[in-house]
Structure 1
Amino acid sequence: MTKLIRNLLAATTALTTLIGFAPAQAAPPGATKNIVLVHGAFVDGSGWKAIAEILRKRGYNVSIVQPPETSLEDDVAATNRVLDGLDGPAVLVGHSYGGVIITVAGNHPQVKNLVYVAALQPDAGESAGQLLGSKPAATNYIVPSKDGFLTIQREHFQDAFAADLPKAEADFIGASQVATSGKALSTPVTSPAWKVKPSFAIVATQDRAINPDLERSMYTRSHAVTTEIAASHAVYISQPAAVAKVIEQAAAAAVTH
């Protein structure tokens, strides 16, 4: 019986390793272990899948927020709900409009550091729409619905959002867009968390949805530790290892603040 149990355990271990569910290694000693990922406009949390897998294998506890994109208030509430459920401090990560969300939700006491991934980083009194209008992007194929929700025209989605993804993948993301409320993009921020908490940032140098020069100017203003990656707006999908590396830098730095 003992031999049978040993054989079963060995087979289970081999199968677990084969299908990618091997036990994760421990996170680096002293690093903030909770990572919370917030997506931006037009997409959902599934785009974080590769980054979440990388971070979990390295011992981090990864949570993915699903903002409803109905208003900035609702999106911040969804993020705070996840932060409230954590057992300790966290690094809060936002992509695109998700940067506006984390700029507000980052005031949560659990948040230690912020990471902006090709993201908007508004100052007090600024909205997403105001920032986007200040330095126009290379493409603008956003169309409104009758009730004030926005999407990117599907035939232009790859060019505008995901030029470095395979066409089939970009087409699927474009077809499964989450319509984003115009209200969410027009609501100004009042108390930016980056003014009191350190931030890290990624400039996507081939971004056609947010002007890379706008990304640089926002991150310079906030004194963010900035990394440039040659990628489209979908950098978190096309280059997950490079983005995960920056998130881990933020997690390691968070313990010193």
Structure 2
Amino acid sequence: MSTLRKKFAVALMLALGGAMAAHAEPKPAAKDIVIVHGALVDGSGWRAVYDILSKDGFHVTIVQEPLTSLMEDVEATKRIIGQQKGPVVLVGHSYAGSVITDAGTDPKVKTLVYVAALQPDAGEASGQLLSKFAPPNDAMRAPQKYFFIPSARFREVYAADVSPSDAQFMADSQQQLAEKALGTAVSVAAWRTKPSYAILTTQDHVVSPQLQRWMYQRSGAKVTEVSASHAVFISQPATVAQVIETAANQTE
């Protein structure tokens, strides 16, 4: 074989080998988890999920958004995403599904996880989605433009599978949601370009299971159905953590 042919053969083998290696190399699993709590609660309710994920080697950060407007909640979430070092799995519960749908366009976000959450498309508002199907109850009230659930009905509506004492604490420590947050449409929908996972809570009296199913089918999310209340992150933390870890370990 001539010197020229030998050089060509070596170059071809190197090129093919590099291309094969690049094709075979999977995307890295995400180690950074960012969790955004929903309306009426704060991030402390996610402690059990946090502990499971942390024990399994994930770096978990919980956003404490103000619930004063969609824009301010998205900005609070983006600040936390910006502090992460690697690919991010962005998790949202309830109203925070709208927050992660907008904030999830950040390049660091790899995957979205919707936990009994709203999943709007661009141009849709949270309140618009909630009214799409008959609401499961009329417990939420908006005096002076902030929503809350009366304490006496909180466990029935929000946390039927949580202990009475824990549900009462949640009722008495509600973080009320600004009405304007529900009325503001998201400008983009991150799930249009990024994979999404969803936990559908079949005993939910806040976000209708029928609405959840419609949204998640529309988006093509990978759905896990759980017989749980809206407070699934408290009543079944291991199940919630497992779905988040599945999303984090996705390599394609």
User: 1:170 corresponds to which letter in structure 2?
Assistant: A
Unaligned 5+ runs, structure 2: 1-26
Structural mapping, 1:179-198, within 5 Å: 179-198=176-195
Name 1:208's counterpart in structure 2.
Answer: 205
Unaligned ranges ≥5, structure 1? 1-28
1:84-233 equivalence runs, <5 A: 84-146=82-144, 148-233=145-230
Equivalent position to 1:237, from 227, 234, 245 = 234
Q: Which residue of 2 is the match for residue 7 of structure 1?
A: none
Report how many aligned residue pairs link the two structures.
226
In the alignment, is the contact (CA less than 8 A) between 1:140 and 1:209 conserved in 2?
Answer: no
Residue identity (%): 52
Displacement after TM superposition at 1:170 (Å): 0.5
Q: Quote the offset at 1:30 in angstroms.
A: 4.1
Residue 249 of structure 1 pairs with residue 246 of structure 2: yes
Alignment of 1:8-157 (within 5 A): 30-146=28-144, 148-157=145-154
Structure 1 residue 145 displacement after superposition: 2.5
Shift of 1:88: 1.2
| Equivalent position of 1:25 in the other structure | none
**Residue 9 of structure 2 aligns with which residue?**
none
1:198-222 deviations in whole A, cap 9, x for unaligned? 0000100100111101001100000
Contact kept? 1:76, 1:101, Cα under 8 Å: yes
**Residue deviations 1:55-74 (CA, integer Å, cap 9, x gap):** 00000000000010000000
In the other structure, the counterpart of 1:26 is: none
TM-superposed CA distance for 1:94, in Å, is 0.3
RMSD of equivalent CA atoms? 1.1
Equivalent-residue separation in structure 2 for 1:67 and 1:128 (angstroms): 16
| Partner amino acid, structure 2, of 1:160 | V
Q: Which residue of 2 aligns with 1:4?
A: none
Q: Which secondary structure does the structure 1 equivalent of 2:65 belong to?
A: coil
- Hey, what's the Cα distance between the residues in 2 that align with 1:251 and 1:118? 18
The alpha carbon displacement at 1:137 in A equals: 2.8
Following the alignment from structure 2 to structure 1, what is the Cα–Cα distance between the partners of residues 205 and 181? 21
